[in-house]
Amino acid sequence: MDRLGEKNVAIVSGASRGIGRAIALKLAKSGYDIAMIAAHDNERAQMTLKEVKAYADQSSFFECNVANPVQVAKTLEEIKARYTDFDVLVNNAGITRDKLLLSLSEEDIASVIDVNLLGTIYMTKACLKTFLRKKSGSIVNISSIVGLTGNVGQANYAASKAGIIGFTKSVAKEYGKKNIRCNAVAPGFIETDMTDLMSDEARKNIFEKIALARLGQADEVANLVNFLVSDQASYITGQTISIDGGL
């Protein structure tokens, strides 16, 4: 396949659905070709790819478990083979396994840390050489408000999302001099498959705590990510920006 090189390219993990899909669509509308990553190459992923391609026709999909460093390295080689360069990385892939700490199995703990935190670290490390060579790059890591506040039933998830915040600040400090920016976004409760899992009671309790009295939309998070990766945010790095409707 010929290498492509006319447009800027953004890598978005967890792009098949939910917030990642909205980010891929928004960045495609902003002029990026998108290298979409998700765990499964299924009908939903292909449907999203089709939607994204309507705005950025050289976009493509890569099946990759971000928690597996061998798969991450292989996928990055495939992305580099397809595109001359890439400019943006959005680490959005994430999972939950919600239970009280005493009920969490080792697998519940490890899988959430592996995908959410280690996946973010592996993906970022794999992209850094390209950003260093280009002397520019923008990374946005999707954390969560729960990484800042903690939450009952989400100790594993909160630890993974708090880890992302420390990682983001460290990358910003290590590579700022090389014109690489790294920020985190901390969404509150956004309407996706992930929050569909919530019980009606949990939903009611949360509504009462949100100043705007509604769940957020994936598009609203995508707008923030679009701003952070753009030149309009050229002096913002190492930050964690909450988007939670005033939770």
Nearer to ligand NAP, 77 or 135 (CB): 77
Asked whether 104 and 155 are in contact (CB, 8 A), the reply is: yes
Least Cβ distance, residue 218 to ligand NAP (angstroms): 6
Q: What CA–CA distance (Å, rounded) separates 112 from 198?
A: 17
Nearer to ligand NAP, 132 or 210 (CB): 210
Instruction: Check binding of 90 to ligand NAP (CB under 6 A).
Output: no
Q: Pick from 194, 236, 241, 247 the residue near ligand NAP by CB under 6 A.
A: 194
Least Cβ distance, residue 243 to ligand NAP (angstroms): 9
Q: What CA–CA distance (Å, rounded) separates 179 from 174?
A: 10
Q: What CA–CA distance (Å, rounded) separates 228 from 235?
A: 10
Please list every residue from 110 through 139 that binds ligand NAP, using CB under 6 A.
115
**Which letter, b or e, does each residue of 165-189 get, where b requires 16 or more Cβ atoms within 10 Å of its Cβ?**
bebbbebbeebeeeebbbbbbbbbb
Q: Pick from 187, 233, 240, 242 the residue near ligand NAP by CB under 6 A.
A: 187
Least Cβ distance, residue 172 to ligand NAP (angstroms): 19
Given CA atoms 85, 49, 161, 74 in this order, what sign does their dihedral have?
negative
For residue 239, the Cα-to-chain-centroid distance in whole angstroms is 15
Spell out, one character per residue from 4 to 43, where the chain touches ligand NAP: x when CB under 6 A holds, - when not. ---------xxxxxxxx----------------xxxx---
Name the one range near ligand NAP by CB under 6 A: 24-32, 126-134, 193-201, 229-237: 193-201
Distance between start and end Cα atoms, the chain: 48
Please list every residue from 142 through 161 that binds ligand NAP, using CB under 6 A.
142, 144
**DSSP letter (8 states) at residue 94:** -
Least Cβ distance, residue 206 to ligand NAP (angstroms): 10
Which one from 83, 157, 175, 235 is the annotated catalytic residue? Answer: 157
157 is catalytic: yes
Q: What CA–CA distance (Å, rounded) separates 92 from 217?
A: 15
Q: Pick from 112, 127, 180, 190 the residue near ligand NAP by CB under 6 A.
A: 190
* Cross-strand partners of 11: 35, 89
Residue 85 has a CB neighbour count (10 Å cut-off) of 17
Q: Would you name the residues annotated as active-site residues? A: 157
Which residues form the interface with ligand NAP (CB under 6 A)? 13-20, 37-40, 64-67, 92-95, 115, 142, 144, 187, 189-190, 192-195
